[in-house]
């Protein structure tokens, strides 16, 4: 019997030691991977990663509170508040066209980023002041500042890699993770402060996030960014300009294919951008958020999307790579169809959840929103990065910037329409509201599916 217990002790000790060894080797492996990651990319990338993370912290933190602030503090109607939300988030995607143009022609990217950060700081701290008449000027400042900031920081990321397309794709993936890291934490921090102490504190926290990002940028730009983005892009001499040929019939068909996909993506964004308005109101008024002494702030739910992005983006990337190795990766158009179908399923889930609610008396489990946001995220990963990549593949060189701007224009229209449609949320059955979105997305997915053969022909190998 004693021998038996000694054997059990021996096996227990060896198992513990093996676990310690496993953790030791795992930590060493992760350290090596992190070291290789840092060494394989320009140091400037990690500066821009940090700056963008804090800027997105401020944007998504403010956005998470915006509709609720207008309803509770400014006493706007739901329809008016949702419309303002739509105009704000829409113009955020429109002004980068102007900001990018001014940077290219007159200012340079680096100066434009500084201008954008300062203007956004003025807007955020105006909101934090709690002065009602500053509300619309504050939103205007943030829209203008975002126009200078958004497109130009991404441009510098591309400059860091030159013609190294393989590393550049990897670099933008890291940069994209920074965006979602900031988007994940901001509703938690700003939403908690708004719930416990008032909206002014939430907006102030968003402003502090932007301030940290700006200070980080100014401290590191000279050392880590070199001369990238310091001066406007100069006109090149004719000898250095790639010969401008007239668009071929094939080029025109590729452009038409892009336009068609941009139009279909508008309907995706109409559904997706309900996150900041109707879904937030559903979380606020129709979801069980109090468990004992613990209360889940309505703003917290907006952290689910970036959290799922951070966790699922590598999985989706590996999935596409695996399918590509087997020769079974879906085409870009098929991925668009998948995105529209998934967004239809997500809004259908919300329609079912809304069916079980009844004002403030019958509340549904937060799991409904969790599953809806999960499907929203998978849909986003099937469309948003795929669309950006597709523009760079199909756009003729002389129209690349213009067509990229058109892609953001589709987001502008989608965000604007999302806010306007969300204005109907209060005046109709919530179940019917989400069901309409679900049906529209499904019909659009069917129409796009029927166009796959034509688009495949127009797009060629891409």
Q: Is the pTM of this model over 0.85?
A: no
Neighbours of 74 (CB within 10 A): 13
User: Using CA atoms, how far apart are residues 91 and 140, in angstroms rounded to an integer?
Assistant: 9
In order of start, what are the domains of the chain with their CATH numbers?
40-232 (1.20.1250.20), 249-462 (1.20.1250.20)
How far CA 346 is from CA of 63, 86, 363, in Å, comes to: 21, 20, 19
Question: What pLDDT does residue 299 have?
Answer: 77
Q: What does the pLDDT read at residue 2?
A: 44
Per-residue pLDDT of the chain (462 residues; tens, 9 = 90+): 444 444 444 444 445 445 445 445 445 544 444 454 555 678 888 898 899 899 989 998 998 899 889 999 999 998 899 889 888 988 888 888 888 778 877 888 889 899 999 999 999 999 999 899 999 999 999 999 988 888 788 778 777 777 665 566 566 667 777 778 888 888 889 988 998 899 999 999 999 999 999 999 999 998 888 888 888 765 433 444 444 557 777 878 888 888 899 999 999 999 998 887 889 889 988 898 888 788 888 878 888 888 888 888 777 777 777 777 788 878 889 989 999 999 999 999 999 999 988 655 678 899 999 999 999 999 988 888 777 667 767 767 556 556 666 777 888 888 889 888 988 888 889 999 999 999 999 999 999 999 999 988 888 754
Instruction: Determine the Cα–Cα distance for residues 348 and 320; give it in Å rounded to an integer.
Output: 26
Q: 152-180: buried (b, 16+ CB within 10 Å) or exposed (e) per residue?
A: bbbbbbebbbeeeeeebebbbeebbbbbb
Using DSSP's 3-state secondary structure scheme, residue 294 falls into strand
Q: What is the pLDDT of residue 371?
A: 94
Contacts for 100-107 with beta carbons within 8 Å, 24 or more apart?
A: 100/151, 100/152, 100/155, 100/401, 100/405, 102/148, 103/148, 103/151, 103/152, 103/155, 103/229, 103/232, 104/232, 104/233, 105/232, 105/233, 106/232, 107/232
pLDDT in the model for residue 250: 81
Query: What is the secondary structure of 118-169 as a DSSP string?
Result: HHHHHHHHHHHTT-GGGHHHHHHHHHHHHHHHHHHHHHHHHHHHTT-HHHHH
How far is residue 98 from each of residues 48, 79, 148, measured CA to CA in Å?
Answer: 21, 29, 8
pLDDT of residue 350: 94
- 291, β-bridge pairs: 294
């Amino acid at each position: 019997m004693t021998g038996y217990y000694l054997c059990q002790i021996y096996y227990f000790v060896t198992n513990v030691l093996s676990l310690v060894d496993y953790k030791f080797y795992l930590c060493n492996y992760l350290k090596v991977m992190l070291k290789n990651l840092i060494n394989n990319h320009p140091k400037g990338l990690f500066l821009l990663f940090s700056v963008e993370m804090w800027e997105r912290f401020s944007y998504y933190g403010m956005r998470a509170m915006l509709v609720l602030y207008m309803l509770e503090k400014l006493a706007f109607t739901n329809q008016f508040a949702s419309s303002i939300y739509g105009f704000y988030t829409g113009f955020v995607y429109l002004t980068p066209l102007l900001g990018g143009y001014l940077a290219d022609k007159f200012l340079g990217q680096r100066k434009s980023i500084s201008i954008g950060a300062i203007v956004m700081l003025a807007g955020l701290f105006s909101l934090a002041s709690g002065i009602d008449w500053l509300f619309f000027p504050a939103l205007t400042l943030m829209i203008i500042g975002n126009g200078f900031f958004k497109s130009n920081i991404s441009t510098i990321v591309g400059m860091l890699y030159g013609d190294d397309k393989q590393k550049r794709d990897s670099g933008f993936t890291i940069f994209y993770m920074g965006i979602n890291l900031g988007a994940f934490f901001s509703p938690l921090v700003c939403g908690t402060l708004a719930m416990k102490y008032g909206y002014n504190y939430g907006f102030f926290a968003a402003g502090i996030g932007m301030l940290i990002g700006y200070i980080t940028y100014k401290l590191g730009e000279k050392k880590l960014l070199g001369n990238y983005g310091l001066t406007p892009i100069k006109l090149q001499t004719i000898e250095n300009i790639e010969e401008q040929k007239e668009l071929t019939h094939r080029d025109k068909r590729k452009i038409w294919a892009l336009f068609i996909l941009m139009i279909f993506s508008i309907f995706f964004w109409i559904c997706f951008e309900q996150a900041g308005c109707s879904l937030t109101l559903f979380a606020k008024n129709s979801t069980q958020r109090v468990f004992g002494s613990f209360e889940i702030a309505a703003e917290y739910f907006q952290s689910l999307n970036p959290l799922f992005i951070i966790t699922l983006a590598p999985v989706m990337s590996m999935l596409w790579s695996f399918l590509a190795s087997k020769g079974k990766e879906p085409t870009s158009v098929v991925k668009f169809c998948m995105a529209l179908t998934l967004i239809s399923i997500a809004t259908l889930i919300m329609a079912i959840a809304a069916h079980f609610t009844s004002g403030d008396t019958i509340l549904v489990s937060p799991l409904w929103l969790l599953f809806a946001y999960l499907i929203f995220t998978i849909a986003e990963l099937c469309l948003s990065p795929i669309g950006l990549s597709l523009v760079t593949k199909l756009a003729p060189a002389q129209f690349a910037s213009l067509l990229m701007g058109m892609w953001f224009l589709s987001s502008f229209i989608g965000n604007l329409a999302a806010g306007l449609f969300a204005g109907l949320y209060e005046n109709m059955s919530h179940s019917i509201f989400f069901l309409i979105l679900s049906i529209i997305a499904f019909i659009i997915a069917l129409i796009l599916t029927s166009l796959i053969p034509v688009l495949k022909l127009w797009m060629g190998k891409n």
